[in-house]
Chains A and B, each alone.
Chain A
């Protein structure tokens, strides 16, 4: 049972434009959401996160939006750069449970064209 879903396996955008990556989750007990970025032959690296008490978190070119009623979150990258080309994983956890349990989506491969 996949509790975190990324329905777009790939996304291609032009340099300078906005990239929007989407993620849906099914478990309403999740209270913390994260995005990880993965380059080939490397492990995923933490990018940005958001707590369920917020609906937006911004860090430079990266913004994550959370819609709890729709159980949906999105990552916006503005402006997109070729170095952003990577696989992006959405993840969700039940932080209040303090049990270190985190679930991942299948990933979206972003390609930013020069």
Chain B
């Protein structure tokens, strides 16, 4: 199983809503990532978890709250988002220190109204 599964595939939310994005992998990878990608822009690194501990936070606003409850799961909790947060959110995983083999999910397309 070389899949990274992201749910939901699409999400529309209001600025006062609270929602969560979910990511799951069963490849035994101990590094998991959240990337944000806007149209015609590169994926931008948001967070990295290594061994279930947050190792990189790229100065992401606190309205995005990551969580890694175990080695297979990664969540991104969303609260009080702005319309400019609308983007494709990509989850990825790899062995720790082996960024050359990032496995990506198909992403969650988020629209904030």
Q: B-contacting residues of A (Cβ < 8 Å)?
A: 2, 4, 9, 32, 34, 36, 41-46, 49, 89, 93, 95, 98-107
Contact = CB atoms under 8 A, between A and B. Distances in A.
What interface size band does chain B fall in?
20 to 34
A89 B90 CA distance: 14
Contacts of A102: 45, 99, 102
Interface of B: 4, 6, 31, 33, 35, 40-45, 48, 50, 55-56, 90, 92, 94, 96-97, 99-107
A101 B48 contact: yes
Pick from A36, A43, A89 the residue with the most CB of B within 10 Å: A43
A34 B101 CA distance: 9
Nearest to A44: B104
Contacts, number: 71
B43 A44 contact: yes
A99 B104 contact: no
B29 to A, nearest CB: 11
A45 B105 CA distance: 9
A101 B106 contact: no
B42 A104 contact: yes
Given A2-B42, A106-B42, A107-B42, A100 B100 contact: no
A43 B45 contact: no
Contacts of A103: 42, 45
A101 B56 contact: yes
A100 B106 contact: no
B106 A49 contact: no
A98 to B, nearest CB: 4
Given A9-B40, A44-B43, A89-B42, A98 B97 contact: yes
Contacts of B55: 99-100
